[in-house]
Structure 1
Amino acid sequence: MAALLLFRGIALARSRGSVVCRVRRGDRAWQSGVARYVGGELHWIPFIGLRLRPRHAIARRGLTVSSRRRLASGEGPAGYWAVVCSAERGPLSLAMSEDALTGFLAWLESAPPSAHLDAV
Protein backbone atom coordinates (compact mmCIF):
# COMPACT_ATOMS: atom_id res chain seq x y z
CA MET A 1 0.00 0.00 0.00
CA ALA A 2 2.85 2.40 0.83
CA ALA A 3 4.42 1.76 -2.57
CA LEU A 4 1.10 2.52 -4.26
CA LEU A 5 0.79 5.82 -2.40
CA LEU A 6 4.40 6.71 -3.26
CA PHE A 7 3.78 5.93 -6.94
CA ARG A 8 0.60 8.03 -6.83
CA GLY A 9 2.49 11.02 -5.42
CA ILE A 10 5.24 10.76 -8.02
CA ALA A 11 2.73 10.37 -10.86
CA LEU A 12 0.77 13.42 -9.70
CA ALA A 13 3.89 15.56 -9.34
CA ARG A 14 5.14 14.62 -12.81
CA SER A 15 1.85 14.99 -14.65
CA ARG A 16 1.79 17.67 -17.31
CA GLY A 17 0.67 21.11 -16.18
CA SER A 18 0.96 20.32 -12.47
CA VAL A 19 2.97 22.09 -9.78
CA VAL A 20 3.76 21.00 -6.26
CA CYS A 21 1.67 23.17 -3.96
CA ARG A 22 0.78 23.21 -0.29
CA VAL A 23 -2.63 24.34 0.99
CA ARG A 24 -3.70 25.58 4.39
CA ARG A 25 -7.09 26.77 5.59
CA GLY A 26 -7.12 28.80 8.77
CA ASP A 27 -4.63 27.67 11.41
CA ARG A 28 -4.49 24.07 10.19
CA ALA A 29 -1.21 22.44 9.17
CA TRP A 30 0.06 22.71 5.61
CA GLN A 31 -1.05 19.84 3.36
CA SER A 32 1.19 18.81 0.45
CA GLY A 33 -0.24 18.11 -2.96
CA VAL A 34 -0.37 19.10 -6.59
CA ALA A 35 -2.15 22.04 -8.21
CA ARG A 36 -3.46 22.03 -11.77
CA TYR A 37 -5.01 24.84 -13.76
CA VAL A 38 -8.26 23.66 -15.32
CA GLY A 39 -10.05 26.44 -17.17
CA GLY A 40 -11.10 29.03 -14.62
CA GLU A 41 -10.25 26.87 -11.59
CA LEU A 42 -7.20 25.76 -9.67
CA HIS A 43 -7.62 22.09 -8.75
CA TRP A 44 -5.63 20.85 -5.76
CA ILE A 45 -5.08 17.11 -5.21
CA PRO A 46 -3.35 15.84 -2.04
CA PHE A 47 -0.31 13.59 -2.35
CA ILE A 48 -1.75 11.20 0.22
CA GLY A 49 -5.14 9.72 -0.55
CA LEU A 50 -6.89 7.20 -2.72
CA ARG A 51 -9.00 9.49 -4.89
CA LEU A 52 -7.59 11.29 -7.91
CA ARG A 53 -10.33 13.91 -7.80
CA PRO A 54 -9.37 17.35 -6.49
CA ARG A 55 -10.04 18.04 -2.84
CA HIS A 56 -10.20 21.78 -3.57
CA ALA A 57 -11.47 23.44 -6.75
CA ILE A 58 -10.69 27.13 -6.33
CA ALA A 59 -12.47 29.41 -8.79
CA ARG A 60 -10.39 32.20 -10.32
CA ARG A 61 -13.48 34.44 -10.33
CA GLY A 62 -13.31 36.59 -7.20
CA LEU A 63 -9.97 35.09 -6.09
CA THR A 64 -7.63 37.76 -4.76
CA VAL A 65 -4.19 37.66 -3.15
CA SER A 66 -4.03 39.73 0.03
CA SER A 67 -0.40 39.06 1.01
CA ARG A 68 2.67 37.00 0.23
CA ARG A 69 5.79 36.06 2.15
CA ARG A 70 8.66 33.58 2.14
CA LEU A 71 8.01 30.50 4.22
CA ALA A 72 9.91 30.54 7.48
CA SER A 73 12.65 28.01 8.12
CA GLY A 74 11.07 24.73 9.19
CA GLU A 75 7.67 25.75 7.83
CA GLY A 76 8.29 24.25 4.40
CA PRO A 77 10.84 23.72 1.65
CA ALA A 78 13.51 26.39 1.23
CA GLY A 79 12.62 28.98 -1.38
CA TYR A 80 8.87 28.47 -1.08
CA TRP A 81 6.49 31.41 -0.95
CA ALA A 82 3.14 31.57 0.81
CA VAL A 83 0.24 33.64 -0.48
CA VAL A 84 -2.90 34.39 1.50
CA CYS A 85 -5.94 34.45 -0.76
CA SER A 86 -9.57 35.42 -0.41
CA ALA A 87 -11.82 33.00 -2.27
CA GLU A 88 -15.52 32.24 -2.56
CA ARG A 89 -15.30 29.60 0.18
CA GLY A 90 -13.26 31.76 2.52
CA PRO A 91 -9.58 32.55 3.03
CA LEU A 92 -6.87 30.04 2.27
CA SER A 93 -3.09 30.00 1.96
CA LEU A 94 -1.08 28.44 -0.83
CA ALA A 95 2.66 27.71 -0.68
CA MET A 96 4.76 26.99 -3.74
CA SER A 97 8.13 27.57 -5.36
CA GLU A 98 8.96 30.99 -6.74
CA ASP A 99 8.54 29.76 -10.34
CA ALA A 100 5.17 28.20 -9.53
CA LEU A 101 4.10 31.42 -7.77
CA THR A 102 4.98 33.43 -10.88
CA GLY A 103 2.79 31.10 -12.94
CA PHE A 104 -0.05 31.30 -10.41
CA LEU A 105 0.00 35.11 -10.39
CA ALA A 106 0.11 35.21 -14.21
CA TRP A 107 -2.89 32.83 -14.37
CA LEU A 108 -4.76 34.96 -11.86
CA GLU A 109 -4.01 38.22 -13.69
CA SER A 110 -4.94 36.76 -17.08
CA ALA A 111 -8.58 36.42 -16.06
CA PRO A 112 -11.05 38.41 -18.15
CA PRO A 113 -11.88 41.82 -16.61
CA SER A 114 -15.38 40.66 -15.65
CA ALA A 115 -13.89 37.94 -13.43
CA HIS A 116 -12.97 40.49 -10.77
CA LEU A 117 -16.09 42.68 -10.85
CA ASP A 118 -17.43 41.14 -7.67
CA ALA A 119 -14.10 41.29 -5.79
CA VAL A 120 -13.77 43.98 -3.14
Structure 2
Amino acid sequence: MPLWLWFVDSLAVLAILAILVLIAVVIRRRYLERTAGAFEMSINRHEAPGPRGWILGVAVYGATEVEWYRTFSLSWRPRHRFPRGEVAIEGRRQPQGAEAFTLHPGQVVATCTTSSGVRQLAMSPTSLTGLLAWLESSPPGRGVNKVV
Protein backbone atom coordinates (compact mmCIF):
# COMPACT_ATOMS: atom_id res chain seq x y z
CA MET A 1 0.00 0.00 0.00
CA PRO A 2 1.44 3.41 -0.93
CA LEU A 3 2.43 5.83 1.80
CA TRP A 4 -0.17 8.41 0.82
CA LEU A 5 -2.98 5.87 1.40
CA TRP A 6 -1.69 5.31 4.95
CA PHE A 7 -1.79 9.06 5.43
CA VAL A 8 -5.38 9.29 4.17
CA ASP A 9 -6.44 6.38 6.37
CA SER A 10 -4.78 8.00 9.39
CA LEU A 11 -6.59 11.28 8.74
CA ALA A 12 -9.90 9.43 8.46
CA VAL A 13 -9.32 7.66 11.78
CA LEU A 14 -8.38 10.96 13.47
CA ALA A 15 -11.50 12.66 12.07
CA ILE A 16 -13.70 9.84 13.36
CA LEU A 17 -12.05 10.02 16.80
CA ALA A 18 -12.54 13.80 16.92
CA ILE A 19 -16.23 13.38 16.06
CA LEU A 20 -16.64 10.73 18.77
CA VAL A 21 -15.00 12.98 21.38
CA LEU A 22 -17.27 15.86 20.35
CA ILE A 23 -20.33 13.62 20.66
CA ALA A 24 -19.17 12.46 24.12
CA VAL A 25 -18.76 16.08 25.29
CA VAL A 26 -22.26 16.95 24.03
CA ILE A 27 -23.83 13.89 25.70
CA ARG A 28 -22.07 14.65 29.01
CA ARG A 29 -23.20 18.27 28.97
CA ARG A 30 -26.80 17.31 28.11
CA TYR A 31 -26.82 14.82 30.97
CA LEU A 32 -25.47 17.39 33.46
CA GLU A 33 -27.91 20.08 32.33
CA ARG A 34 -30.86 17.73 32.78
CA THR A 35 -29.84 16.87 36.33
CA ALA A 36 -32.18 18.34 38.95
CA GLY A 37 -30.73 21.54 40.37
CA ALA A 38 -28.34 22.23 37.46
CA PHE A 39 -27.59 25.73 36.16
CA GLU A 40 -24.96 27.44 34.02
CA MET A 41 -22.20 29.04 36.08
CA SER A 42 -18.82 30.35 34.96
CA ILE A 43 -15.94 30.76 37.40
CA ASN A 44 -12.84 32.94 37.58
CA ARG A 45 -9.91 32.86 40.02
CA HIS A 46 -8.88 36.46 39.26
CA GLU A 47 -10.21 39.33 41.36
CA ALA A 48 -10.00 42.04 38.69
CA PRO A 49 -12.85 42.43 36.20
CA GLY A 50 -11.93 41.43 32.68
CA PRO A 51 -12.18 38.66 30.10
CA ARG A 52 -9.09 36.82 31.38
CA GLY A 53 -9.56 33.61 33.36
CA TRP A 54 -13.24 32.80 32.83
CA ILE A 55 -14.11 29.11 32.52
CA LEU A 56 -17.60 28.10 31.37
CA GLY A 57 -19.34 25.37 33.30
CA VAL A 58 -22.42 23.79 34.79
CA ALA A 59 -23.13 23.74 38.53
CA VAL A 60 -25.36 21.24 40.31
CA TYR A 61 -26.87 21.72 43.77
CA GLY A 62 -26.25 19.02 46.33
CA ALA A 63 -27.45 18.77 49.92
CA THR A 64 -24.35 20.41 51.39
CA GLU A 65 -22.36 21.67 48.40
CA VAL A 66 -22.55 22.94 44.85
CA GLU A 67 -20.58 20.81 42.39
CA TRP A 68 -19.10 22.58 39.36
CA TYR A 69 -18.25 20.83 36.08
CA ARG A 70 -16.33 22.31 33.14
CA THR A 71 -18.43 22.65 30.01
CA PHE A 72 -15.79 21.34 27.59
CA SER A 73 -14.48 18.28 29.38
CA LEU A 74 -14.95 14.53 29.37
CA SER A 75 -14.62 14.13 33.13
CA TRP A 76 -17.70 13.00 35.04
CA ARG A 77 -16.25 14.28 38.32
CA PRO A 78 -16.77 17.86 39.45
CA ARG A 79 -13.79 20.16 39.01
CA HIS A 80 -14.74 22.29 42.05
CA ARG A 81 -16.95 21.77 45.06
CA PHE A 82 -18.34 24.73 46.96
CA PRO A 83 -19.44 23.65 50.47
CA ARG A 84 -22.34 25.70 51.80
CA GLY A 85 -20.51 27.15 54.80
CA GLU A 86 -17.37 28.09 52.85
CA VAL A 87 -18.86 30.44 50.23
CA ALA A 88 -19.32 34.13 50.95
CA ILE A 89 -20.89 36.33 48.27
CA GLU A 90 -19.50 39.85 48.65
CA GLY A 91 -21.22 41.70 45.83
CA ARG A 92 -22.57 41.61 42.32
CA ARG A 93 -22.01 43.59 39.15
CA GLN A 94 -22.66 43.57 35.42
CA PRO A 95 -19.91 42.23 33.12
CA GLN A 96 -17.58 45.01 32.02
CA GLY A 97 -16.17 45.57 28.53
CA ALA A 98 -14.87 42.46 26.77
CA GLU A 99 -15.90 40.37 29.76
CA ALA A 100 -19.49 40.45 28.43
CA PHE A 101 -18.36 38.57 25.31
CA THR A 102 -16.59 35.92 27.38
CA LEU A 103 -19.67 34.99 29.44
CA HIS A 104 -23.10 33.72 28.47
CA PRO A 105 -25.57 36.49 27.54
CA GLY A 106 -27.48 37.97 30.48
CA GLN A 107 -25.17 36.69 33.19
CA VAL A 108 -24.21 38.78 36.21
CA VAL A 109 -20.91 38.50 38.06
CA ALA A 110 -20.85 37.80 41.80
CA THR A 111 -17.62 38.47 43.66
CA CYS A 112 -17.00 35.92 46.36
CA THR A 113 -14.53 34.16 48.58
CA THR A 114 -14.33 30.39 48.57
CA SER A 115 -12.02 27.77 49.99
CA SER A 116 -11.11 26.67 46.43
CA GLY A 117 -9.67 30.04 45.42
CA VAL A 118 -12.48 31.03 43.06
CA ARG A 119 -13.00 34.81 43.29
CA GLN A 120 -15.84 35.44 40.81
CA LEU A 121 -18.93 33.52 39.74
CA ALA A 122 -21.06 34.39 36.73
CA MET A 123 -24.62 33.16 36.29
CA SER A 124 -28.07 34.36 35.33
CA PRO A 125 -29.82 36.69 37.81
CA THR A 126 -32.37 33.98 38.68
CA SER A 127 -29.59 31.45 39.31
CA LEU A 128 -27.82 33.96 41.55
CA THR A 129 -31.03 34.46 43.53
CA GLY A 130 -31.32 30.69 43.89
CA LEU A 131 -27.69 30.38 45.01
CA LEU A 132 -28.16 33.15 47.60
CA ALA A 133 -31.30 31.45 48.93
CA TRP A 134 -29.45 28.11 49.08
CA LEU A 135 -26.56 29.72 50.99
CA GLU A 136 -28.92 31.46 53.44
CA SER A 137 -30.92 28.30 54.11
CA SER A 138 -27.96 26.62 55.77
CA PRO A 139 -28.87 24.71 58.93
CA PRO A 140 -28.10 26.53 62.19
CA GLY A 141 -24.49 26.31 63.35
CA ARG A 142 -23.08 25.51 59.92
CA GLY A 143 -21.09 28.70 59.41
CA VAL A 144 -22.09 32.22 58.51
CA ASN A 145 -22.30 33.38 54.92
CA LYS A 146 -22.07 37.06 54.17
CA VAL A 147 -24.66 37.62 51.48
CA VAL A 148 -25.25 40.86 49.57
TM-score interval, normalised by the smaller of the two chains:
0.7 to 0.9
Q: Count the aligned residue pairs.
A: 119
Q: Does 1:90 align with 2:90?
A: no
1:115 Cα offset (Å): 2.3
* 1:35 partner amino acid: A
Aligned-partner SS, 1:84: strand
TM-score scaled by length of structure 2: 0.71
Match of 1:81? Answer: 108
What is the TM-score normalised by the length of structure 1? 0.86
Q: CA RMSD in A?
A: 2.0
Distance 2:81 2:74 in 1: 17
2:27 paired residue number: 7
- Percent identical among aligned pairs is 33
Partners of 1:22 and 1:96 within 8 A in 2: yes
Unmatched tracts of structure 2, length 5 or more: 1-20
Q: Does 1:18 align with 2:45?
A: no
CA-CA distance at 1:21 after TM superposition: 0.8
Q: Which has the larger radius of gyration?
A: 2
* SS in structure 1 at match of 2:61: strand
Q: Could you list the runs of 5+ residues in structure 1 that have no partner in the other structure?
A: none
User: Stretches of 4+ moved more than 4 A in 1?
Assistant: none
Per-residue CA deviation, residues 6-33 of structure 1 (Å, 9 max, x unaligned), is: 2222221222211111111126521111
Whose strand proportion is higher, 1 or 2? 1
How far apart are residue 3 of structure 1 and its match? Answer: 1.6
